[in-house]
């Protein structure tokens, strides 16, 4: 037992002290945050105000169109298709009329595409004015219309929310959040399975090709050597994940403070959320306002707990298989490719299943994918954020966890037998048939 | 002298061949024991069983008279395999400490012993160097130190001199004698017969998984001698022929003779003395281990043929 701890310590320290570990740990969150905030900023910036020349045959819209972020209206005299550019306008809005009583048709002309935001803004304004005109025609007084407008803007008349019903309890539905959290955690597990699995494989290959294995196994059992490496790298992975979580949390609180209020305003108003609350410097609020996602509403302890469990479980399940593959190959990395395929295929399948799981977290594909240990670490993380026990009943979560634990006991046992023979074989690559034979014969 | 290691009817069969097929021998404490054999004879498999890497299919290994326990007895064994290496990215000092601790030494113990051996082999300045920065010879020296620093009672060296220059070879050779003098038993495996003749007290020759020779170097040479003598005379006698011998080779006054059956070496001397020749030198030529090795192994294909095993 003591020897395993010495091995774990070495595996952990040599990797954590490595420069690439430090670099990837500290740069990745930074790159991610720059990417997220950068794209929010650019998104806000990309809404451009265009100058629209209005040629109104009816005279109904004259000076009534309200300027917005996306459109500024001008009413130059004698404007036409041939000269609006010279007058300094980006587009020409022509309003036609059949007669004064019915709705009119309107056409927007421009040399380049003016964008969805401008299009929407113009359409909204036209509809609003048209509506007012119809109301006035039906005898509603100007005063009443104005007062309704004021009231509608002050109060949030239409307060729309969706709820999940479980028993007598009502829970606020949060589809967007759960799918984002599920997808991100699934992807992180998918990526880390590859990163740390490959790290285990490389470590085993190093021991084999540098001929350290035989020196080592004269002091420790091959199983201790393999397990020490797997656990050591698991500790490296956990350290990296924890550092990422801490760093991202730190950056989330610091970045909004650094960003100028102007940028914040743009980032918020850019998404044009109705009834946006007062300015706030907290990132959670900012994300809530800019995307309509309520971060505080999710069951974070459960999600993070499950994430760590499935990260570790999935890693342990696959790491020993990667170790077994590493033990049978020699210097040639091409050999690794073909032997790794049967291990990487289920991981990739898990990722493919994740995308459809996000859309339907309770469907049969999501169910089976999240129960079978080969894919459960990835697929289950896509389901959990949509709610336990509403979308994932407790028995399913329990079964999935038990099977994953049983699964990694099995793969570790199997791999240990292949590993034991493999690390002392020099010269030739073992086939899968031989590896299976090693696994089921005595030492 | 007492026996430190006793091998009794050891067998290990792999699916394609009988790697070790019923081998027995014993090794005296404090001796230098040569384990010889051509490539693929089963030496490495035998050694792997002695070091606890493989479990024998049948037979016993007794260490100090007790059944060998791979888990607890590793502290008593130091093994330098033929296929050996070190972690390239690790620092020399840390590497030595790591291997010492894996043998079961405490951190403090390991540190003191690594320090002692590094000073002894003038490796003190290497401590913070990375293993990949060492030359091949330096690496071998470090490997030797990591094999013996926990003061095992039994040291197993498989081709210990490969890659070493004569100076470092002598350094390690002296250390091997030194350890044996202090009571450490050494198993020495190699193809280099001149080294075996120089170093080993006792040898076992294995071929195709079987033991074909077992004894002290002296005994074996006696056993395989071909009764050939070399005589140097100041002048050749008038009558050179005599029924006691045949001349194998003649170079001026130097004769190589083979004694015929029923005669002794003194009969030849008497003949020369009777012929009034002055004998300048007269000695027996014993076969070298190399010759014995080749004679015994000859006829065996250079690599073992695969055979199906039903066991």
Q: Write out chain B's pLDDT in tens, 311 residues.
A: 588 899 899 888 887 778 888 899 999 888 999 998 888 788 888 998 998 888 888 899 998 888 888 888 888 899 998 888 889 888 999 999 999 999 889 999 999 999 999 998 888 898 899 988 988 888 888 999 999 999 999 999 998 888 788 888 888 899 999 999 999 999 999 888 888 888 888 999 888 888 888 888 888 888 888 888 888 888 887 777 788 888 888 888 888 888 888 888 888 888 888 888 888 888 888 888 888 888 888 766 555 555 555 54
Answer for the pair A96, A107: CB distance below 8 angstroms, yes or no.
yes
Confidence at residue A279, expressed as pLDDT on a 0 to 100 scale: 39
Helix A222-258 vs helix A19-45: crossing angle, to nearest 10: 30
Chain A residue numbers touching B52 (CB-CB < 8 A) = 218
What are residue B6's DSSP bridge partners? B26, B62
Q: Which token pair is A139?
A: 């005898």
- What sign results for the dihedral spanned by CA atoms B294, B296, B300, B306? negative
The Cα-based distances of B109 to A4, A29, B74, B123, B125 in angstroms read 19, 43, 17, 18, 20
Nearest-neighbour CA in chain B from A439: distance (Å):
14
* Cβ under 8 Å to B: A residues 349-388: none
A13 touching B (Cβ < 8 Å): no
Chain A residue numbers touching B53 (CB-CB < 8 A) = 214, 217-218, 424
- A441: helix, strand or coil: coil
DSSP secondary-structure letter at B181? H
Query: Mutate which of A213, A218, A220, A228 to test chain B, going by most B C-beta atoms within 10 A?
Result: A218
* Cβ under 8 Å to A: B residues 139-168: 143, 146
Which DSSP string corresponds to B38-90? -TTSSHHHHHHHHTTSS--SEEEEEETTEE--TTTSGGGEEEE-SS----TTS
Residue A101 has pLDDT above 70, yes or no: no
B128 touching A (Cβ < 8 Å): no
Per the CB < 8 Å rule, is B98 touching A212?
no
DSSP secondary-structure letter at A430? P
Our measurement of the distance from residue B171's CA atom to the centroid of its chain's CA atoms, rounded to an integer in Å, reads 17
A426 touching B (Cβ < 8 Å): yes
In chain A, pLDDT over 70 holds for what percent of residues?
80
Residues in chain A: 443
Give me the interface pTM, i.e. the ipTM: 0.80
B79 touching A (Cβ < 8 Å): yes
Per the CB < 8 Å rule, is B85 touching A424?
no
Q: Which token pair is A140?
A: 């509603």
Q: What is the rounded average pLDDT of the residues A64-77?
A: 81
Q: Give the pairing type, strands B3-13 and B58-63.
A: antiparallel
> B48-85: per-residue pLDDT in tens?
899 888 888 889 999 888 888 888 888 889 999 888 88
Confidence at residue B75, expressed as pLDDT on a 0 to 100 scale: 87
Confidence at residue B237, expressed as pLDDT on a 0 to 100 scale: 79
> A273-282: per-residue pLDDT in tens?
433 333 344 4
What are residue B12's DSSP bridge partners? B20
Confidence at residue A258, expressed as pLDDT on a 0 to 100 scale: 65
A406 pLDDT tier (thresholds 50, 70, 90): very high
Nearest-neighbour CA in chain B from A10: distance (Å):
8
Chain A residue numbers touching B84 (CB-CB < 8 A) = 211-212, 214-215
Of B88, B102, B146, the CB nearest to A6: B102
* pTM for this predicted structure: 0.74
- Residue with the larger pLDDT of the pair A144 and A296: A144
What are residue B257's DSSP bridge partners? B229, B247
Q: Domains of chain A (ranges plus CATH)? A: 2-42+176-439 (no CATH), 50-154 (3.40.190.10)
Quote the mean pLDDT of chain A: 79
Distance CA(B239)–CA(A57), nearest Å, equals: 149
> A240-258: per-residue pLDDT in tens?
888 888 887 787 777 666 6
A70 pLDDT tier (thresholds 50, 70, 90): confident
Identity of the highest mean pLDDT range in A37-51, A171-185, B21-35: B21-35
Confidence at residue A144, expressed as pLDDT on a 0 to 100 scale: 85
> A11-29: per-residue pLDDT in tens?
999 999 888 888 888 887 7
Residue A228 has pLDDT above 90, yes or no: yes
Confidence at residue A310, expressed as pLDDT on a 0 to 100 scale: 93
A334 pLDDT tier (thresholds 50, 70, 90): confident
Our measurement of the distance from residue A158's CA atom to the centroid of its chain's CA atoms, rounded to an integer in Å, reads 30
């Amino acid at each position: 037992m003591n020897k395993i701890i010495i091995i774990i310590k070495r595996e952990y320290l040599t990797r954590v002290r490595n420069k690439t570990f430090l670099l990837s740990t500290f740069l990745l969150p930074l790159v991610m945050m720059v990417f997220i905030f950068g794209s929010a900023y650019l998104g806000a910036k990309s809404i451009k105000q265009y100058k629209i020349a209005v040629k109104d045959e009816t005279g109904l819209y004259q000076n009534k169109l309200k300027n917005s972020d996306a459109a500024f209206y001008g009413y130059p005299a004698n404007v036409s298709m041939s000269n609006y550019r010279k007058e300094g306008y980006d587009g020409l809005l022509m309003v036609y009329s059949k007669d004064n009583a019915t709705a009119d048709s309107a056409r927007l002309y421009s040399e380049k595409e003016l964008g969805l935001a401008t299009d929407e803004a113009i359409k909204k304004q036209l509809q609003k004015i048209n509506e007012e005109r119809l109301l006035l025609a039906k005898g509603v007084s100007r005063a009443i219309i104005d007062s309704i407008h004021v009231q509608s803007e002050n109060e949030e008349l239409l307060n729309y929310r969706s709820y999940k019903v479980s028993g007598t309890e009502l829970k606020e539905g949060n589809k967007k959040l759960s799918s984002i959290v599920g997808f991100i955690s699934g992807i992180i597990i998918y990526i880390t399975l590859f990163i740390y699995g490959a790290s285990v494989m490389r470590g085993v290959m190093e021991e084999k090709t540098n001929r350290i294995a035989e020196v080592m196994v004269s002091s420790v059992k091959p199983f201790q050597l393999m397990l020490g490496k797997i656990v050591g790298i698991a500790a490296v992975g956990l350290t990296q994940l924890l550092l990422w979580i801490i760093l991202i949390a730190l950056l989330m609180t610091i970045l909004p403070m650094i960003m100028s209020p102007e940028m914040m305003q743009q980032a918020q108003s850019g998404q044009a959320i109705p009834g946006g609350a007062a300015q706030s410097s907290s990132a959670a609020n900012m994300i809530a306002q800019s995307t309509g996602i309520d971060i505080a509403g999710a069951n974070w302890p459960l999600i993070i707990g499950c994430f760590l469990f499935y990260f570790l479980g999935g890693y342990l399940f696959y790491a020993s298989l990667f170790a077994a593959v590493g033990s049978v190959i020699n210097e040639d990395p091409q050999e690794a490719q073909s032997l790794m395929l049967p291990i990487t295929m289920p991981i990739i399948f898990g990722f493919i299943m994740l995308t459809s799981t996000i859309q339907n977290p309770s469907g049969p594909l999501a169910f089976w994918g999240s129960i079978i240990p080969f894919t459960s670490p990835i697929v289950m993380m896509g389901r959990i954020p949509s709610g336990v026990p509403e979308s994932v009943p407790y028995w399913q979560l329990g079964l999935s966890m038990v099977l994953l634990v049983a699964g990694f006991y099995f793969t570790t046992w199997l791999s240990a037998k292949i590993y034991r023979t493999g690390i002392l074989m020099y010269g030739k690559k073992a086939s899968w048939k031989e590896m299976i034979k090693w696994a089921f014969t005595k030492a | 002298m007492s026996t430190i290691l006793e091998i009794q009817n050891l067998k290990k069969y792999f699916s394609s061949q009988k790697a070790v097929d019923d081998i027995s021998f014993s090794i005296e404490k404090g001796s230098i024991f040569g384990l010889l054999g051509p490539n693929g004879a089963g030496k490495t498999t035998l050694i792997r069983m002695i070091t606890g890497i493989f479990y024998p299919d049948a037979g016993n290994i007794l260490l100090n008279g007790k059944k060998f326990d791979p888990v607890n007895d590793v502290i008593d064994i130091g093994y330098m395999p033929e296929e050996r290496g070190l972690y390239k990215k690790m620092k020399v000092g840390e590497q030595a400490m790591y291997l010492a601790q894996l043998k079961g030494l405490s951190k403090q113990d390991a540190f003191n012993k690594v320090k002692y051996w590094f000073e002894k082999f003038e490796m003190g300045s290497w401590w913070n160097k990375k293993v990949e920065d060492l030359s091949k010879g330096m690496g071998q020296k470090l490997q030797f130190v990591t094999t013996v620093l926990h003061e095992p009672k039994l040291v197993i060296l498989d081709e210990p001199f490969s890659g070493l220059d004569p100076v470092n070879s002598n350094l390690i050779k002296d250390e091997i004698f030194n350890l044996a003098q202090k009571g450490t038993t050494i198993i020495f495996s190699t193809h280099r017969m001149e080294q075996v003749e120089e170093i080993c007290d006792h040898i076992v020759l294995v071929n195709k998984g079987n033991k074909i020779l077992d004894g002290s170097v002296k005994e074996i040479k006696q056993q395989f001698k071909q009764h050939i003598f070399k005589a140097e005379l100041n002048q050749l006698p008038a009558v050179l022929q005599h029924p006691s011998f045949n001349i194998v080779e003649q170079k001026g006054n130097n004769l190589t003779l083979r004694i015929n059956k029923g005669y002794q070496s003194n009969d030849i001397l008497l003949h020369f003395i009777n012929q009034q020749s002055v004998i300048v030198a007269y000695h027996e030529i014993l076969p070298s281990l190399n010759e014995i090795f080749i004679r015994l192994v000859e006829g065996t294909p250079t690599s073992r043929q695969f055979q199906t095993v039903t066991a």
